[in-house]
């Protein structure tokens, strides 16, 4: 979640701004406009029947994407939202202007060297999209523009270019383009030397690819056109562009997806199959692309592993043999089966192994202990073993672009909720570090010493300690009148680290505090933290968030009149549960592309991602999971009661959370809410799950969200 700054106030100006939120009429308020009537979706009788249970679903018809009545309803909701918030136009524009003012518009990435070229991504002033370039041998060489996405995006409402993949001989490049925002990418191949496009267009892919070392063949992943599951791996030859792709692997198990990747050593190509609890890999020598892939280790229930290559060995990060937080093993390339795995780094119950990088002389492991990441560096000859020095009570650190195998330089990224993102280069031999790039926060008044962050802990209903990261301006005194925006995700083992955001400054400089609740369902406190927030333990995710909110209120840091919540996708499911179960705790809630019709979606295997996620939520065809899901599913649990002020967003082309889930939910909420709080549905008719594609359009969406919160806070009476 990103946020930002209305003006760059001096201390006295900042103090005045804090007062104006709650006392002054200069900031617009968010109050219902009784002259505007919200649209009411037509109810059409429909019943879901399973396990001797009937679920009434009068808005089931909204999933008919091609039905003009559906589009009309969504447009009427958009019109209602736009008219109801028209008085916030100046505030939205001010927010957008200040957020944009903090960005270095003509920014450039840190160059990285690969296969004889320096690769650089840059933005030009006033442009929405990146320009991808390279320079041969030296940074002083002439720039070659690979892709100018601003030109490529001109005739599209949405544009996303991914998977840039240069051939080993540096003459060709594969890339994927999505102009719908449904994550169905078309692959193209460009001749870098001549600038000409080859007559190749491969539709419905993931956008990624892997070259074989012959510079002629490449492998790519295709999607099922209906479910969008990644289910097939193909080989293609650019020497025969008119020929059909050759199918080399089909993932027959509908609960698994597949992908293709290359080893850092450039010697092997891997096909990976995965679901939430199990993985399987096959490998192929990159010099012999026409041969068959060989199996590393056959898939087994609850066995996860990932493979890297160095020398004569595969190095494997795995949870095998009860290693809940993972361990590192190795095996000879010609004997990759699990029975040959030799332990390199043992499992530790209190330390999560998150990632590892292999170099010619060193190997590097990213660990997480009590929520904080650490980077451990070891030499292959065991002569050195140490941790990268890090500071702070709550921060984010991770290894960055390290694709050069022979280097002794490790790149890593560090930031915190108060410190901008900084890219470091660390000499693993001398242990000296160099700052390659520190994120610039423009505008002239940003000073990281003006903000404070720390970690606090709440007690869950079962006594578990739930960590929270909090940040606010140093002049903000936490009290029952302090506005706090609380954010969380809490699913798929995805960890939300406490990172820096320039947009968030717009709330912090207005007196808001911002809190990340590191609830169960993520892996902030280790793998068990995830296991305790999924399947038949999923309700821990929701109760942890509510417990965190109650802790903020009980400690006098805020109050229900000033507490706000935000979550997106599976985090939007979280928002749906908390407004059903504890609506009295929140003044306002933003639910972005929320997954709220859990049972119906998980019963429909034609919907993208459904079968892949049975190990996350359970399969409702089994009664135990059906009953459990239904008991928390936000759409099924809407009831006649008072609800907080709510802004719900959707993407018409969303492939992950279909637009009809938030649309149905809002329609049912309108029937049941017993108060005069505002309820808005804002559907982006040109975008999908990730929202707008341009960097400035994305800022405008953030400005809309912030204006909603700020206007609500100005409505509060102390």
Query: Nearest to residue 17, comparing CAs of 506, 572, 551?
Result: 506
pLDDT tens-digit map of 341-375: 999 999 999 999 999 999 999 999 999 999 999 99
Give Rg (Cα) of the chain.
26
Residue 391 gets the label, from left (phi > 0), alpha (psi -120 to 50) or beta, of: beta
CA 493 to chain centre: 12
Strands 484-487 and 563-568: parallel
Which candidate, 97, 93, 141, 99, places its Cα nearest to that of 117?
141
Question: Which DSSP helix (H) or strand (E) runs through 428?
Answer: none
Query: Which residues does the chain have with pLDDT short of 50?
Result: 1-25, 717-718
The whole-number pLDDT of residue 609 equals 67
Burial class from Cβ neighbours inside 10 Å (0-12, 13-18, 19+) for residue 55 reads: middle
* Token pair for 220: 């790519």
Count of alpha carbons within 13 Å of 431, Cβ hemisphere only? 12
Distance of CA 184 to the CA centre of its chain: 18
Cα–Cα separations (whole angstroms), residue 244 to 128, 236, 247, 293: 36, 7, 9, 20
Residue reference for tokens 């370039």? 133
Q: Helix count (H) and strand count (E) of the chain?
A: 13, 37
Distances from the Cα of 249 to the Cα of 74, 208, 234, 310, angstroms: 41, 16, 7, 25
* Cα gap 380→83, rounded to integer Å: 64
Q: What is the pLDDT of residue 21?
A: 34
Catalytic residues: 569, 654, 689
Q: How far apart are CA 681 and CA 448, in angstroms?
A: 36
- The CATH-assigned architecture of domain 11-101+453-715 is 3-Layer(aba) Sandwich (3.40)
Task: For residues 422 and 412, give the distance between their C-alpha atoms in angstroms, rounded to a whole number.
Answer: 8
- List the alpha helices (DSSP H) in 562-659: 570-581, 598-603, 614-617, 623-632
Q: For residues 690, 693, 695 and 696, what is the CA-based torsion angle, rounded to 10 degrees?
A: -110
CA distances from 258 to 10, 331, 612 (A): 53, 23, 11
> 289 Cβ partners below 8 Å, 6+ apart?
212, 213, 214, 217, 219, 235, 269
């Amino acid at each position: 979640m990103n946020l930002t700054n209305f003006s760059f106030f001096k201390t006295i100006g900042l103090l005045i701004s804090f007062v104006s939120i709650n006392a002054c009429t200069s900031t617009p308020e968010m109050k219902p406009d009784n002259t505007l009537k919200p649209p009411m979706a037509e109810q059409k009788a429909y019943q879901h029947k399973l396990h001797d249970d009937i679920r009434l679903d009068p808005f089931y018809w909204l999933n008919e994407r091609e039905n003009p009545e559906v589009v009309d309803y969504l447009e009427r909701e958009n019109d209602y939202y736009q008219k109801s918030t028209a008085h916030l136009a100046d505030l939205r524009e001010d927010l957008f202007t200040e957020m944009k003012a903090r960005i270095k518009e003509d920014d450039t990435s840190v160059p990285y060297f690969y296969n004889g070229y320096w690769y650089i991504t840059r933005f030009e002033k006033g442009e929405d999209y990146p320009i991808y370039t390279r320079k041969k041998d030296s940074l002083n060489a002439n720039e070659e523009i690979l892709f100018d996405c601003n030109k490529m995006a001109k005739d599209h409402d949405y544009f996303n270019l991914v998977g840039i993949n240069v051939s080993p001989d540096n003459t060709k490049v594969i890339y994927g383009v999505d102009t719908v925002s449904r994550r169905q990418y078309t692959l193209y191949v460009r001749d870098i030397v001549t600038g000409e496009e080859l007559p190749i267009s491969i539709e419905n892919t993931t956008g990624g690819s892997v070259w074989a070392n012959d510079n002629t063949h490449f492998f790519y992943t295709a999607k099922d056109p209906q479910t969008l599951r990644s289910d097939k791996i193909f080989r293609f030859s650019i020497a025969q562009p008119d020929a059909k792709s050759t199918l080399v692997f089909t993932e027959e198990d509908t609960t698994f997806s597949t992908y293709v990747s290359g080893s850092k050593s450039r010697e092997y190509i891997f096909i990976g199959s995965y679901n939430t609890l199990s993985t399987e890999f096959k490998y192929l020598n990159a010099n012999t692309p026409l041969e068959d892939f060989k199996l590393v280790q056959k898939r087994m229930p609850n066995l996860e592993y990932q493979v890297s290559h160095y020398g004569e060995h595969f190095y494997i990060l795995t949870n095998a043999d009860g290693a809940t937080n993972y361990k590192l093993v190795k095996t000879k390339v010609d004997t990759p089966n699990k029975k040959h795995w030799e332990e390199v780094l043992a499992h530790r119950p209190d330390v999560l192994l998150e990632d590892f990088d292999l170099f010619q002389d060193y190997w590097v492991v990213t660990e997480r202990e009590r929520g904080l990441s650490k980077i451990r560096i070891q030499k292959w000859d065991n002569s050195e073993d140490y941790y990268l020095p890090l500071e702070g009570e709550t921060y984010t650190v991770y290894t960055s672009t390290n694709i050069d195998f022979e280097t002794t330089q490790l790149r890593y990224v560090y930031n915190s909720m108060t410190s901008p993102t900084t890219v470091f280069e660390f000499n693993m031999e001398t242990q000296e570090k160099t700052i390659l790039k520190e994120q610039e926060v423009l505008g002239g008044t940003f000073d990281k010493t003006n903000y404070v962050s720390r970690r606090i802990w709440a007690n869950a209903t079962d006594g578990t300690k739930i960590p929270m990261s909090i940040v606010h301006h140093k002049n903000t005194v936490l009290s029952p009148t302090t506005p706090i925006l609380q954010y969380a995700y809490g699913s798929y083992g995805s960890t939300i680290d406490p990172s820096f955001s320039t947009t968030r400054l717009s709330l912090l400089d207005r007196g808001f505090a911002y809190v990340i609740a590191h609830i169960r369902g993520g892996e902030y406190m280790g793998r068990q933290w995830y296991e305790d927030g999924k399947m038949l333990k999923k309700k821990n995710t929701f109760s942890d968030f509510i417990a965190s909110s109650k802790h903020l209120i009980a400690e006098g840091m805020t109050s229900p009149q000033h507490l706000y919540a935000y979550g997106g996708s599976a985090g939007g499911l979280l928002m749906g549960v908390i407004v059903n179960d504890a609506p009295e705790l929140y003044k306002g809630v933003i639910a972005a592309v929320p997954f709220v019709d859990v049972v119906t979606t998980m019963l429909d295997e034609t919907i993208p991602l459904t079968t892949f996620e049975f190990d996350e939520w359970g399969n409702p065809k089994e009664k135990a999971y059906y009953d459990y899901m239904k008991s928390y599913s936000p759409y099924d649990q809407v009831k006649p009661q008072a609800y907080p002020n709510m802004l719900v967003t959707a993407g018409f082309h969303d492939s992950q959370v279909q637009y009809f889930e938030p649309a149905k939910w809002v329609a049912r909420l309108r029937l049941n809410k017993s108060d005069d709080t505002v309820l808005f549905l804002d559907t982006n008719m040109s975008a999908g799950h990730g929202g707008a594609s341009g960097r400035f359009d994305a800022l405008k969406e953030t400005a809309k969200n912030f204006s909603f919160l700020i206007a609500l806070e100005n409505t509060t009476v102390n």
